[in-house]
Structures are given as C-alpha cells and as structure tokens.
Amino acid sequence: MKPTDNPLLDLDGLPRFDAILPAHVEPAIEALIAETRATVERVAAGAAPAHWDNVAAPIADVLDRLDRAWSAVRHLNAVVSTPELRDAYNGSLPKVTALHTDIGQDERLYAKYKAIAASTEFAALDAAQQRVIGNELRDFRLGGAELPEAQKLRFKEVQEELANLSAKFDDNVLDATNAWALYAGEDALAGMPADAVANARAEAAAEGREGCKLTLRMPCYLAVMQYADDRAVRERVHRGYATLASDLGADPAHDNSAIIERILALRAEEAQLLGYGNFAEVSLEAKMAGSPAEVIAFVRDLASRARPFAERDFAELVEFARSELRIADPQPWDFAYAAEKLRQARYAFSDQEVREYFPAERVLAGLFDLTRTLYGVTIRASRAPAWHPDVRFFDVVGADGSLVGQFFLDLFAREDKQSGAWMDDAINRRRAGGRAQHPVAFLTCNFSPPATVGGVAQPSLLTHREVETMFHEFGHGLHLLLTGVDVPGASGLEGVEWDAVELPSQIMENWCWEWDVLQSMTAHVRTGEKLPRALFDRMIAAKNFQTGMGTLRQVEFALFDMLLHTEYLPGRGGPHADAQALLAAVRREVAVVPRPDYDRFMHAFGHVFAGGYAAGYYSYKWAEVLSADAFSLFEEVGVLSPEAGARFRDEVLARGGSRPALESFVAFRGRPPQIDALLRHNGMTTSSSP
C-alpha cells in the first residue's frame, strides 16, 4: 500500500472517515511513528544552540500529524467498534505508548528544553510558549527522563501495560453491555415511555423475536429504572447494570477484577519509580490542587455540608415508597422509580412530561442561538465524511464570516458505541509556517434515537438532564473551538489543569435553567407549543430535588478515587483487603443510600480505570465551585449579557493553557473562587436547611 493510498496519512484536511478501514491503521501509525522518531532524533542530536524554532516547533509539528491520525483511530474504536477495528487499535496502542514514553525519557531532548528555559531567548517568548516549556520540563520529569537506564526501561514497560489494560477495561465494559439482554412481553414494560417501549420492540424485531428486548445501554436502563412498574424487571435490570464487567457478571471473560488490581499496582509502581509517595501525588502535579490531603479535605468538607440534606432526601424517599407506593422494604432498584413518583406527586410533573417539550433538534437550535448571543459565533450545518449516517457536521463562523472551527455531532446510542458522553479533539488549533489550522471537535452523546410510536415517526426526545448533558459536552467543545492560542501545547484544552477543564462545560449547564433560553429551545412534540411557564416554575421548584443525595454520590466517587490512589496498596495488606473493601468503607463514611452486596460499580468506572480521571475525579466538584461562582457574574449583570459572554470567552475559553487556570478565573471574576454560589445553586444553604 503506497502512503498516498492510506486515508489516515492524508492530513491536509478533515479525517476521511468514509475511506478509513481497519487495514489502514497499522501501516499509517507505523509510518507516522517512524517519521516522529526521525524528527526527534534529528532535533535531539542537533549541535546548534537550542531555540523554540529548532526544538519545540519541529517536535510539535510532527506530533500533531501523529495525534491527528491516532485521534481518528481512537474515536472510531469508541463509536463504531468492530472486532477488526479493535484489533487494529489494540495492535497499534503499545507502539504509540512506547513512542511517547521514549520521547519523555530522552535526556538529550530534555536538555534542549532546559537550555531554552535557561537561555536569554526565554524572556522573549510569549506567555503561551513559556508555559509550554515549563509544562514540558515537568512532563519530562514525570515521564522518567531523570531515571537511571534500568528504571527507564521498567517505567516504559509499566506505561505500555497500563495503556493496554485501560483499553481492555473499556472493551470488557462494552462487550458486557452488549452481551446482556432481557426479553419480555410488552406487559412487563408497563409504565415506561412509549418511545422506550417502541425501541425495545424494534431491538427484539431486529433479532427476529417477538416482544421486547431490554438492554443496559443508558436510554433503556434509565427508562426501566425510573418508569417500569414491574418491580421484578427493575431488579433484574439493576443487577445486570450493577454487575457489569465484574466477577458477578454473566461472562467471566468480561471480568475487570484482575485488570483493576493490576492497574492500581502499576500506578503505585510508577509513583515509586518517580520518587513519589503514591500515584495521587503524581496525578496532582498537573492540577490546581496542591496535594492529596487538600483534595481529601475538600471532598470531606463538601460531604459534611451535604449530608444533612442527603439524609432528609433519603428519609423522605423511603417514607414515600412505603406509604404511597406500598413498598414495605425499598431496595436499590426501587429508588429511582420512587424518586420519579415522588417528584410527580410533589411538583405535579414527570420527566416524561418534560421531555416531550425537548426534541433534540429544537434543543440544538436553542443551544446554537445561545452560543451566538454569548460568544458572537454562528453555527451552521456543513458536510464532511462521517462514520455513521446519524452523525452531523457543523461550521463555527465568526462575526466577520471567518471559519473559527468545526465539529462532528454523534447523539444517539447504538450497540457498537461506548456508553457515556464526551468531547474529544480531532484537530487542535495551531499555526505553523504562516498557515493556520482551525480546531475540530468530536461531540458524542448516547441519547434515545428517534422512534416510531403508534405508527407515527417521533423525533428523539431529551430529558432535562440529557439537555444538561448536551450543554455540558458543548461547553467542552467551545473550550477547544474558541481558543485564541496558536501555540501547540497551550491551545484549547492543552495545558489546562485537569481539575479546571470542567469549568467551561459545567458553566453551560446553568443556562438550561433560564426561562428566556428555554423558550428558544422547546417545542412540544405534538403541538409545537413552547414550554409553559407553569411547568417551568414547577421544574425550578424541583431543581434541587434530592441534590443532597446527588452531591454525596459524587463525593463518594471522588473520595474513593483519591483514597484508592493514596492509601490502597494492592497486595500489601493494610486496612482494606481489596479495592471493593475500600469502596465499602467509603460508602460507610459518606453514603446515605444503601448499596446491595452485589454492586460492582467500580468494574465499569471508566473515568478512573480507562480515562484521564485517575486521582482526579474530584475535579468535577472542584470545577463546579469555579463554574457556579463564574456563572454568578452572569446572574449579576444579565444571564444573556453579550459583554459578560465576551469576557468569559476572552479570559477563559480563548486563553487555553497559556496561563494558570486560577489566573484566568480571577481575570474573569475579579477575585478568587468562593464556594457560596455552589451551595446556593444546590439549595444547601442555611435558608434551606432541613
């Protein structure tokens, strides 16, 4: 195969998703790795004095080419997984990992960056370039550049094994999800929304079966847990979801237990090799938080503030289940169902009633209108090769008509697609040789697809929580797309502290609760009417329904993650026999909602075991403090204020990683962050005490 025949090597424009095949992956990635190694060798061995233009720039150029091709492969593996594509991805993953490890351990290259930092040229570099150099020096240290040769080799082996294990963890979760099914007659789905029943019927029909097929993909799972009247069905679906990819799952081949223990052992070894006390200390080197102790104190303080509200929430839920639903002994598979019934009883509306006002297309239109109002950019439908017929493509256009960026939008759940919602970069903004490269994002969700209900085609309808999810991921996208930085390593999300990357995403969720915004993004699926003010008022009244319980659930995840990477040492004894025992201890400390003995939540906890949130899950709550406080400025000057929007764009979104996130926050807000707005937004203040 000639290089020109391989679409993954065509890097002058958008990825050619209509042409990429699994057979293209290995030769393309090997060619780009070879190109990268040759460039690194040329730069590292060069005799000329080290400067930005002969060290940082050429390294950034060649890594950008590899990153663009690998991003396309990684994305395809997540959204249209096939055995062939998975094999191609997993076959190239160790080679990519080895390359980055070798670069991070190259003492010659490390010396070049140190020389730039020590040179008179450094002061003449702009702020973004200086920050990139500083981050590179940190990353060389964390990459093992200062280790003795034997330890460098072991460090490389650890990194390669961790990459493979994380990929296998994700594969197991997807395979376990797809392998599980519950076939039932329509009578067993009583109480569920019509479109959920229609989709379950279609799933069964696609296999030539009568009745309905229930799955563990999120739209179906949530519909069952919230609405299915049949308690036995809820229990079976709950157990299936809670034991995904675990020792209690249906197929031992999908069990992540040994993978979890091995990942934790390797992370502990990585920390030891680098001279740190634990992996959390390594993780926090690139974050705002100063130490594991600071993070643990933060989440425990939040737990103590939320606990009284959570205890009240749960007591009310149990009493309602017993007195009104006649469930004498409420179990975990009853809680979401009882909560939905309690919401309906207390506030006279259901999630199902609300979602009929939120067709996905209308929500998108409202989101794009909001983006134009706040940030002065217009979003227009465009065309590009995609990986699935449901995928759409958009241009982001500036006020002067110039192209700012582009993004792919993949909204609906399907069998070959990993669960969850995320944003990833396809192309980062940069400028090289006088040529600008505009950013391109992947925006991915897993909403219910359009359905045929009663013989009538119905569009995809979103719950309000799903609307928040769409806004959240779009906020990440705006962080990438509206960057004003051309320097690789500081553009978009690059170089941004991990516990600050959720600020642009979380702040977007606030506009989902604003009346003027909702008017532009709602239209009843049958009548076309906008969301009624009376229903909106009930939604606002219910906004903080069970936020105490919700906060403690996030605190549980965050505390477990941090303790897992500070106190738990696999195979070395201690107070916790295994990670599951530690999770049980954390739940005893902070949780108010009981979990069944069979709950194996962590076996599908991809954020920590297959994503970038290891010893960093706390960042959701950490950044929520930032986002709530940032939004409070909009509350003060006008939630649709173009001036405030321009300020947020200029001081936060556009700055990328060119300066510390705290400096960007202070430049926008005028002071350091305060927790008051978060507590107020969640109804956890003295005026709302239980």
For residue 170, give the amino acid letter.
Answer: D
Tokens in use for 256? Answer: 């992540």
Among 223, 235, 608, which Cα is nearest to 447's? Answer: 223
Rounded to whole angstroms, how far apart are CA atoms 492 and 438?
11
Rounded to whole angstroms, how far apart are CA atoms 422 and 462?
17
Among 503, 507, 620, 600, which Cα is nearest to 559's? Answer: 620
Kindly write down the DSSP assignment for every residue of 212-227, as one continuous string: EEE-SSHHHHHHHHHH
Phi, then psi, of 453 in degrees rounded to 5: -115, 120
Are 662 and 672 spatial neighbours (Cβ–Cβ below 8 Å)?
Answer: yes
**27-48 burial, b if ≥16 CB within 10 A, otherwise e?**
bbbebbbeebeebbeebbeeee
Q: Is 473 a catalytic residue?
A: yes
The catalytic position among 466, 473, 502, 651 is: 473
Tokens in use for 405? Answer: 């960026």
SS3 call for 359: strand
CA 231 to chain centre: 32
Reading phi first (left if > 0) and then psi (alpha if -120 to 50, else beta), residue 287 is in beta
For residue 681, give the amino acid letter.
Answer: H
Are 215 and 233 spatial neighbours (Cβ–Cβ below 8 Å)?
Answer: no
In Å, how far are 329, 550, 590, 688 from 553, measured between CA atoms? Answer: 22, 5, 8, 20
Are 77 and 20 spatial neighbours (Cβ–Cβ below 8 Å)?
Answer: no
Rounded to the nearest 10 degrees, how much is the dihedral formed by the CA atoms of 499, 628, 504, 293?
A: 0
Q: In what order do the strands lie in the sheet with 392-397?
A: 378-382, 392-397, 403-412, 440-447, 422-427
Length of the chain in terms of residues written: 690
Sign for the CA dihedral angle at 150, 156, 158, 160 comes to negative
Point out the residues that are catalytic.
473
